[in-house]
Amino acid sequence: MDGIINVLKPVGMTSSDVVMALKKILKTKKVGHTGTLDPDVSGVLPICVGKATRLAEYLVRQGKSYKAEITFGIVTTTQDGSGEVLEENSPKVSQEDFNKIAPRFLGTIQQIPPMYSAVRHKGKHLYELARKGIEVERSPREVEIDRIELLEWIPGTFPKGIFEVDCSKGTYIRTLCHDIGQALGCGAHMSHLIRLSSGPFKIEESIPLDSIKARIGEGDFSFFVPMEQTLDLVRVNLSPERGEAFRKGLATARKQIEGVENIDESEEVQVFCEGQFLGIGIWRNQALCPRKVF
């Protein structure tokens, strides 16, 4: 059982809850998630099993897509629907206003992590401080937003917009909603969120926990995604001789490998030999050095 499971996380469970459930279902301790989803958020949660847990750091880096609902006129302590209301007004904001302001948040932007988040400050999670009524200064973080597309507009006392967003890892969609509301001068919060994709994993192919348990009971493990199908790193192919050297932890000079002229120093790559995935390598001093051997 070495691979990744594209889990459909339900509302009400933390990412750690999903990991604990799968440990029991799979009867193994080597299970880990690839980035937390808040309990109120559902959708794609890739879970690494067995040797694949060593790839979690690479899967976390990959881009994400979400479908979010933003509610205007209400600002909360958590920037989502679970928090206490700080401000409330009946805004005159329209679909056109949203579409005009959205491009301001495309590209590389700065986000200040919310107080109710897992970011650490002096060894403590920010949410631990927030629950005690303590607010600390947070440094802005650089994130990348590639697409914001409004799908539906719901007018009313508190207008709502449903939109999709493609973004980099580390992007807080609730902070994006909050910041859009601030930019429009009426305030807003994220009232619903579903993760549609994480790297190559899509919600259409995700599996609920109950289905995983049932299929394993039938001896069906076909839902495990092989490790080599999940990475967006450049592929490098080694000869059988150099493949054996890689397995033993030995470096291979660049001149001994074909088709790697455009790979930069310090770049990480996925390494194959005769179609078999060997592991992760890194370029150092014009040589391919093993970083993780499988």
Residue 193 C-alpha from the chain's centroid: 13
CA distances from 286 to 63, 165, 282 (A): 29, 39, 10
Is 38 part of the annotated catalytic residue set? yes
The 3-state DSSP class for residue 98 equals helix
* DSSP one-letter code for 94: -
Asked if residues 65 and 164 have their Cβ atoms less than 8 Å apart, the reply is yes
What the block records as the tokens of 177 is: 């909603």
Residue type, 165: V
Residue 74's DSSP bridge partners are 88
What the block records as the tokens of 239 is: 């000869």
Q: What is the number of residues in the chain?
A: 294
Helices (H), the chain: 15-26, 56-61, 95-101, 126-131, 173-183, 209-217, 240-247
Catalytic annotation, pick one of 2, 38, 220, 232: 38
The 3-state DSSP class for residue 154 equals strand
Asked if residues 162 and 177 have their Cβ atoms less than 8 Å apart, the reply is no
Asked if residues 26 and 213 have their Cβ atoms less than 8 Å apart, the reply is no
Residues 6+ apart with CB under 8 A from 63: 146, 166, 167, 168, 169, 197, 199
CA distances from 160 to 23, 103, 164, 182 (A): 39, 18, 13, 15
Active-site residue list: 38
